[in-house]
Structures are given as C-alpha cells and as structure tokens.
Amino acid sequence: MKFLRTGLLLLLIASCNAPKATYDYDQNYNFTELTTYQFYPDLITRLSQLDEQRLLRILESELNLKGFHSAQNPNVYVNFYAEEYETASRNNLGIGVGGGGGNVGVGVSGGIPIGGPETYLRITFDFIDASNDSLVWQAIVDSQFNKNASPRERELQLKSIVQKALKGYPPKND
C-alpha cells in the first residue's frame, strides 16, 4: 500500500511537469497535400547552438515519422523559435498562529515560498505554405526546463516537446 501511494505521488508530480501545447491552423487549408518540407531559410531559434542542433535532429526524425520528407522545393517551410521565462515557485510552506477564548478566535497565517523561480521553455512551431509564405499551422508548447540538465536529459526533454507539438498535426477539422 505504501508503494502504491508513493507511485501515485510520483505520477502526479511527473504529470505536472509534462509539456502543455496549444494549436491553431487555417481551417480552409488542405493539409493532405503536405508531404515535403524544408526548414525555414531565416531560422532564428534563440536556443543555444547545441540545443538548436538537437531540436533540428529530433524534428527531422519526427517529421519523417509523420510522412514528410525533406525537399529542395517543399510544400511547407518549418520554422521554430524559443523563449525562456521564469515563474515564481508554486511550492509554499504555510504557517499559522491562532488563539482564542470563549466565542472569539483569532488567527494569522502566511505562506513562505520554497525554492527559487521555475524556468520554462516555450517553443513555437510554424508550418508556412511555401507557395505563398502564409502561416497554415502552429503549435506552441510550454514545458518546465532545467538549464543544468545533462545533454541526454535535454535531448529527452526536447523530444518530448516536439512530440507534444506534432501530436496536433494534422489538425482535426471541427
């Protein structure tokens, strides 16, 4: 029973750190014709050179799994860019003091933040129609990011972000 509670707690903590994605697309666009891609010629990712190389490799692999292949004259340009931001820690230690007598009670409480700010990475993925240079599909993925992670951990996290982004492709017309 103790292992079950510990396992559920770890699952809950892990699910809070999972990447979260939002998707948008041109409802009038025919996505079934997209089979070839090329990375956007003026790619400015705002990632470190090593993370950019990792993300390009991962994205190329995942696009191939989706049925795309790289071409000199592509149907679509794939662009991506990142931004890093911090949020205040959501972990707090609550302290309260109270007292009373008779029918009167008084209490004071407050929260003390535990840990420092949390770093997040937001990566925006754009599919741009190569024939008319118009945006046809976009995914924005937010994920907690550890700047001090090992290269292997960074690669796994970037892979998780790319998979989450491409989970919304092709879009389901509503």
Tokens of 49: 């050179």
CA gap 39, 4 in Å, rounded:
46
Q: What is the pLDDT of residue 165?
A: 97
Per-residue model confidence (pLDDT) at position 118 = 80
Cis check for the bond before 170: say yes or no (omega within 30 of 0). yes
Q: Within 10 A of 47 (CB to CB), how many other CB atoms are there? A: 20
DSSP H or E stretch at residue 81: strand 76-87
Q: Are 88 and 111 in contact (CB under 8 A)?
A: no
3-state secondary structure 83-152: EEEEECCCCEEEEEEEEEECCEEEEEEEEEECCCCEEEEEEEEEEEECCCCEEEEEEEEEEECCCCCCHH
pLDDT at residue 87 in the model: 74
pLDDT value at residue 10: 42
Residue ranges of domains in the chain: 19-87+114-166
> What torsion do the CA atoms of 159, 161, 167, 170 make, to the nearest 10 degrees?
-100
Give the pLDDT of the chain (174 residues) as one tens digit per residue. Answer: 555 555 444 444 444 568 999 999 999 999 998 999 999 988 999 999 999 999 999 999 999 999 999 999 999 999 999 999 887 665 666 666 666 666 666 666 666 666 567 889 999 999 999 999 999 999 999 999 888 899 999 999 999 999 999 999 999 865
Instruction: Answer for the pair 100, 65: CB distance below 8 angstroms, yes or no.
Output: no
* Distance from C-alpha of 126 to C-alpha of 136, rounded to nearest angstrom: 8
For 19-87+114-166, CATH number out of 3.40.50.970, 3.40.50.300, 3.30.160.670, 3.40.50.1360 equals 3.30.160.670
User: 161: closest CA among 118, 126, 117, 125?
Assistant: 125
- Cβ distance 35 to 69 under 8 Å? yes
